[in-house]
Structure 1
Amino acid sequence: MTIAIREATPDDIDAIHGFILALAAYEKLSHAVRVDRATLDRHLFGPRPMAEVLIAERGAVAVGFALFFHNFSTFEGRPGIYLEDLFVSPEARGSGAGKALLVRLAQIALARDCARLEWSVLDWNTPAIDFYRAIGAQPMDEWTLQRLDGNALVALAET
């Protein structure tokens, strides 16, 4: 059965939320999930969407998703796409759904004059790393991701 990729709609909130929970479980980060359906709906489909979602379907069944948003390269002077999450349900892995999601993201990036498509991967996730190498992705070894959140974010904002 073929894989179809489409833009998510508000009717997909339950599926998106389910994929996020499944991804968190896979990454051993279920304890870090705080998002609920209402928050997703507001930030994905509200008056000022902060991210976009693609849904991978096999038949009429959602089997994966990609959540992404734009960033901007000052060196390139052009936008980019940051892929926050890519997840394919275990029963659909190997079906081409992950690659189909990335192909569609690459098409969107080119159509929007983006300079790059970027994402992070956990260093222990060898199946994902091998897949990314197979499609031509390269690690950014000289860069280290930095994060400011929680109390540290509040403290800085209040300085």
Structure 2
Amino acid sequence: MQTQKNAPVTIRPARPGDEADILRMVVALAVYEREPDAVKATEPSLKATLFGDDPQVFAHLAELDGEIVGLALWFLTYSTWTGAPSLYLEDLFVADAARGTGTGRALLSTLAREAKSRGCARMDWAVLDWNDKAKQFYRHIGAHHSVGWEPWRIEGEALEALAAG
């Protein structure tokens, strides 16, 4: 993929038919994050969750020169402390060839406008502890590390056992 560093980036909401491109970027992100075999999503599962009757997950795509080169996948959460919803950015990905073109910033600016239009008090996301380049970028746009909070997760057999009571 050849992109021009000065070409304008276009950000748009994902729409039915984008599932293959979304999955391609999710897989590329998993490879970058050193978890190439972790992706269980499929085009049908993405279609169901993003474009089903009551979607709870949303995505915006970045296009450069007519090619999809970036993804921001997000959903809403809620903060009892702020008394307002929050936008949670699950995945942000920009293809290697599009880095340095403003694509990441354009995706985040679009999400910030989305958050404000939905009455969100904040945007949240997680960053891998070794991803210094991403941390530097986030600091540059004014984000900060939430000190004192650790991500926790329950999945697989433990989730099944807890659900079983």
TM above 0.5, one fold?
Answer: yes
Aligned partner of 1:47 among 53, 57, 64 = 53
Length-normalised TM-score, structure 1: 0.98
Aligned partner of 2:143 among 123, 129, 137 = 137
Q: Could you tell me which residue of structure 2 aligns to residue 119 of structure 1?
A: 125
Alpha-carbon deviation of 1:50?
2.1
Alpha-carbon deviation of 1:141?
1.6
Higher helix proportion, which one? 1
- The share of aligned pairs that are identical, in percent, is 45
Q: Could you tell me which residue of structure 1 aligns to residue 101 of structure 2?
A: 95
- What CA distance in whole angstroms lies between the structure 1 residues aligned with 2:88 and 2:159? 21
Unaligned runs of 5+ in 2: 1-6
Please state whether the residue corresponding to 1:154 is helix, strand or coil.
helix
Please state whether the residue corresponding to 1:30 is helix, strand or coil.
coil
Matched to 1:148, the amino acid is I
**1:20-99 equivalences in 2 (<5 Å):** 20-99=26-105
What stretches of structure 1 move > 3 A for 4+ residues in a row? none
Please state whether the residue corresponding to 2:18 is helix, strand or coil.
helix
1:158 partnered with 2:164? yes
Residue correspondences, number: 159
- What CA distance in whole angstroms lies between the structure 2 residues aligned with 1:103 and 1:91? 20
Q: What CA RMSD, in Å, does the superposition of the two structures yield over aligned residues?
A: 0.6
Please state whether the residue corresponding to 1:105 is helix, strand or coil.
helix
Alpha-carbon deviation of 1:93?
0.4
Unaligned runs of 5+ in 1: none
Matched to 1:105, the amino acid is L
1:67-112, CA deviations, whole angstroms, 9 ceiling, x for partnerless residues?
A: 0000001111110100000000000001000000000000111111
- What CA distance in whole angstroms lies between the structure 2 residues aligned with 1:156 and 1:30? 28
Length-normalised TM-score, structure 2: 0.95
